[in-house]
């Protein structure tokens, strides 16, 4: 009796499934991939570029007043004057944008947005720190 009951239940479950074959021979369209250069990304990259420029300017002002560069990776660039500072800033900016693009290409969209916002917040903190030290 148990087997009959199990067969009846399985046949009811099988009948409730939809086994219809689609008459449309085309496969369903895949969702379009997200674009990297959205308005949000353009705004974030623009803000980051302005903050990198402000960081370079305030760093050079601090170096002219006798302070020293705290970042050991940027120190070789910033001690070479404005040209070295701009080269180091360009390398840092390019690395930041490349990191977010790699996250985008690997479909880590949320991590891409979070990483960009952390980079903007960190750079803003550096600029604010430089301004406070210069006052």
* Pair of tokens at residue 74: 């940027």
pLDDT at position 46, please? 98
**Cβ atoms of 92 and 122 closer than 8 Å:** no
Region of poorest pLDDT, from 2-16, 61-75, 118-132: 2-16
Integer Cα distance of 66 and 61 in angstroms: 9
Q: Is 10 exposed, middle or buried (0-12, 13-18, 19+ CB in 10 A)?
A: exposed
Q: What is the mean pLDDT of residues 71-94?
A: 93
Q: What is the mean pLDDT of residues 58-77?
A: 92
pLDDT above 70 covers a percentage of the chain that reads 88
Region of poorest pLDDT, from 4-8, 9-13, 102-106: 9-13
Integer Cα distance of 16 and 127 in angstroms: 64
């Amino acid at each position: 009796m148990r087997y009959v009951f199990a067969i009846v239940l399985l046949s009811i479950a099988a009948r409730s499934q939809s086994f219809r074959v689609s008459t449309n021979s085309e496969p369903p369209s895949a969702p379009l991939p997200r674009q990297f250069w959205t308005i949000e990304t353009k705004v974030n990259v623009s803000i980051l570029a302005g903050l990198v420029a402000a960081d370079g300017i305030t760093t050079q002002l601090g170096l002219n007043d006798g302070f020293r560069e705290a970042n050991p990776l940027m120190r070789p660039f910033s001690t070479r004057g404005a040209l070295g500072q701009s080269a180091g800033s360009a390398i840092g900016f390019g690395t930041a944008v490349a990191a977010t693009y790699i996250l985008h290409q690997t479909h880590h969209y949320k991590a891409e947005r979070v990483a960009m916002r952390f980079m903007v917040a960190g750079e803003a903190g550096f600029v604010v720190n430089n301004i406070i030290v210069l006052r």
